[in-house]
Amino acid sequence: MDAPIKDDRTELVGLSRQELAEEMTKLGEKPFRAKQLWHWIYHQGKTDFAEMTTLSKDVRAKLPETHKVTRPGIATEQTSEDGTRKWLFNFADGKEVETVYIPETDRGAVCVSSQVGCTLACTFCHTGTQPMVRNLTAGEIVGQFMAARDSYDEWPTPQDGGRMLSNIVMMGMGEPLFNYENVAKALTIIMDGEGISISKRRITLSTSGIVPEIERCGDELGVNLAISLHAVRDDLRDVIVPINKKWPISELLDACRRYPTSSNARRITFEYVMLKGINDTDADAYELVNLLRGIPAKINLIPFNPWPGAPYECSSNNRIRKFADIVNDAGYSSPVRTPRGRDIMAACGQLKSATERVRKFSDQPATS
Ligand code: SAH
Ligand code: SF4
């Protein structure tokens, strides 16, 4: 692969409104130019200053010398037979992440990554087996969504209701609450009504349970919360979601009880991956409803998605159905997440693996 060309100009994507205003001041421009730029970058989706026609000719001419508006590079783009699309994006330092778009009839969610790899090592997750490389910047997080919108030509920002890319789930690679500052900055940009304008009700952040940051996330962002629970006993969760040793189930659920959106209209989602013979008995299901009592919750049962060398199998359909029935009968909605994009390794927990595999066996044809 060609080495990226060195470019020291300041990237504007990912700056807060205030930082953008400061950049304009440095150039000797009035702060209101920042408002105009914001509109061109985040509402119109433009990357070429020459097209930002409300800026004075002078500003349009001098901005490209010192500043840029870019997107992550697209290493690969694949579309699944079910319509799911996956991008492998690369950044200036050559690091890569995956982003997935999951379309539904008249809407769809973009699954965004927060880190290159993950420092946590949940035993069923492929991302967790890869060495952590680094946190993504706010610009790299927003950039994934903007590049996805480019791909569907969804600029300028359409009215709410007329969007294919209507929702965001922070469920890609990485633990978003271990990169809280950048994730918060990115989501604040994404929620801004004069730009990308996705409301906090359409954003869901998934965490394996970083308790202190859950509180900040609720107070400062107010987005929907999803918790990767996956086990109902500490002895098992300590093994499969090892961060549990630091913040055990009871502390995690206390943080959920305090989460400001935990009202009936905006339930907390509990993700529960179905692992054959590990966490899928009737007793587990009863204990789950017992634990969640008092928390407005929705339980998302995720069939385990296999990856090369994974030490688990997915529970049988019958087992998943029986588990779901118990949870349902207790009054909780418990949709079973239909795996999407498995043919392109885009399903939950599979991210990055196909790319790694192709690299490892690059002398063999990539048959996946
Ligand atoms: N780090 C955060 C965000 C990633 S979300 C978190 O863990 O919540 C990715 C979701 O997919 C998590 O719920 C994760 O537990 C789940 N997951 C990981 N590996 C999986 C696999 N192989 N099959 C199904 N779901 C998996
Ligand atoms: Fe990291 Fe989430 Fe995977 Fe656990 S499930 S290793 S926290 S990405």
pLDDT digits (tens, 9 = 90+) for 311-335: 999 999 999 999 999 999 999 988 8
**Nearest atom (ligand 1) to Cα of 170:** 3
What is the whole-number distance in angstroms between the Cα of residue 125 and the centre of ligand 1? 6
> What integer pLDDT is reported at residue 360 of this predicted model?
42
Catalytic residue (choose from 98, 140, 175, 213): 98
Give me the half-sphere count of Cα atoms (radius 13 Å) on the Cβ side of residue 96: 18
| pLDDT one-digit tens code per residue, 33-84 | 999 999 999 999 999 999 999 999 999 999 999 999 999 999 999 999 999 9
pTM: 0.93
> What pLDDT sits at residue 347?
76
Pocket of ligand 2 (CB under 6 A): 118, 120-122, 125, 127-128, 174-175, 208, 228
Active site residue 348: yes
- Residue corresponding to tokens 């920042």: 34
Shortest-distance Cα residue to atom 7 of ligand 1: 208
- pLDDT for the residue numbered 16: 97
Q: In the chain, which stretches have pLDDT less than 70?
A: 1-5, 132, 261-265, 352-368
Indicate whether residue 217 lines ligand 1 (CB < 6 A): no
User: What spacing in Å lies between the alpha carbon of 264 and ligand 1's midpoint?
Assistant: 25
Q: What is the pLDDT of residue 1?
A: 47
Q: 98 an active-site residue?
A: yes
- Closest residue to atom 4 of ligand 1, CA basis: 171
Question: In the structure encoding, which two tokens stand for residue 20, read together?
Answer: 């953008």
Contact 84, 106 (CB under 8 A): no
Nearest-CA residue for ligand 1 atom 8 is 207
Amino acid 356: pLDDT: 52
Output the residue whose Cα is nearest ligand 1's atom 15: 228
What the chain holds in terms of domains, given with CATH numbers, is 10-68 (1.10.150.530), 73-358 (3.20.20.70)
Q: Is 314 in the pocket of ligand 1 (CB under 6 A)?
A: no
pLDDT reported for residue 47:
98
Closest ligand 1 atom to residue 339 Cα is 24
The Å distance, Cα 239 to ligand 1 centre, comes to: 15
The pLDDT score that the predictor gives to residue 352 is 66
Residue 146, amino acid: M
251: Cα within 13 Å, side-chain hemisphere: 15
Give yes or no for residue 171 CB within 6 A of ligand 1: yes
